[in-house]
Structure 1
Amino acid sequence: MVKKLLLPVTVIYTVALVIASLINLSGVPSLGSSFDDKIYHFFAYFGLAVLWISYFKPIKKKYTLTIVLIGLILFGILLELIQHQLNPNRTYDNFDLMANCLGVIIGTLIAARLNIIKLK
């Protein structure tokens, strides 16, 4: 059952992340630090990596995890680069990009290492 739901949940999460990256996000709760935005970026891409790695992990191809990792990093870079083109209230930020990449890397390592979602 979980295996059948994982792909739709992962795709919906990915689409929601794209939408959230391209719209104005006013009223997001503060975490009380000066780098709340970076924390949100980290956890958004951490979740993205966990979902996609969990989906692809049963595939026993030699470079599957590496391809997914690189694809997610490129996805984060692309979104960061185009968000200010589509929304004048959003800007490119190297620190956001670093938070995205760190979230993907750590999410990938944890999902691949601990087998977070056991598929039946």
Structure 2
Amino acid sequence: MVKKLFLTASIVYTIALVIASLVNLNSVPSLGSSFDDKIYHCIAYLGLAFLWMTYFKPSTQKHIKVIVFIGVILFGIILELVQHLINPNRTYDNYDLMANCIGVLLGTLIAVRLQIITLK
């Protein structure tokens, strides 16, 4: 039951992240820094990595954490490229990719470190 909940949450979060990445987000609240966008990227990918890592954590596959980590990083790269191609108001930014990667790393470390729930 809990495993299905994490799968559903992971899928819904992934879809929401895709939508948020492809539409214009003009009314995002300001955090008062010059790099708010990078903070949002980091937090978004922290959540994404955390959810998928937690879902796959009880897997018996030997390298599942590495596979999920690389998968989420590739997802961020592809989404950054797609948003640039689809939405003329969005631009490709290497710093966004770096923020995504930092978020994935943090989300992965938190999920692995917390050992929240053994999903069965």
TM-score (norm 2): 0.95
Distance 2:28 2:86 in 1: 20
Could you list the structure 1 runs, at least 4 aligned residues long, displaced by more than 2 angstroms after superposition: 1-4, 116-120
Aligned equivalent of 1:109: 109
> 1:119: Cα distance to partner?
3.1
Unaligned runs of 5+ in 2: none
Aligned equivalent of 2:9: 9
Tell me the alpha carbon deviations over residues 51-80 of structure 1, each in whole angstroms, 9 at most, x when there is no partner. 000000010211000000000000000011
> 1:11: Cα distance to partner?
0.1
Tell me the alpha carbon deviations over residues 8-41 of structure 1, each in whole angstroms, 9 at most, x when there is no partner. 1110000000010011001100000000000000
How many percent of aligned residue pairs carry the same amino acid? 70
Further displaced range: 13-22 or 1-10: 1-10
Give the counterpart letter for 2:7 in structure 1.
Answer: L
Distance 1:2 1:30 in 2: 35
Q: How many residues align?
A: 120
Is the 8 Å Cα contact of residues 58 and 118 (structure 2) preserved in structure 1? no
Further displaced range: 3-12 or 88-97: 3-12
Distance 1:117 1:24 in 2: 36
Aligned equivalent of 2:45: 45
Matches within 5 A, 1:1-120: 1-119=1-119
Secondary structure, counterpart of 2:30 in structure 1: coil
TM-score (norm 1): 0.95
Give the counterpart letter for 1:27 in structure 2.
Answer: S
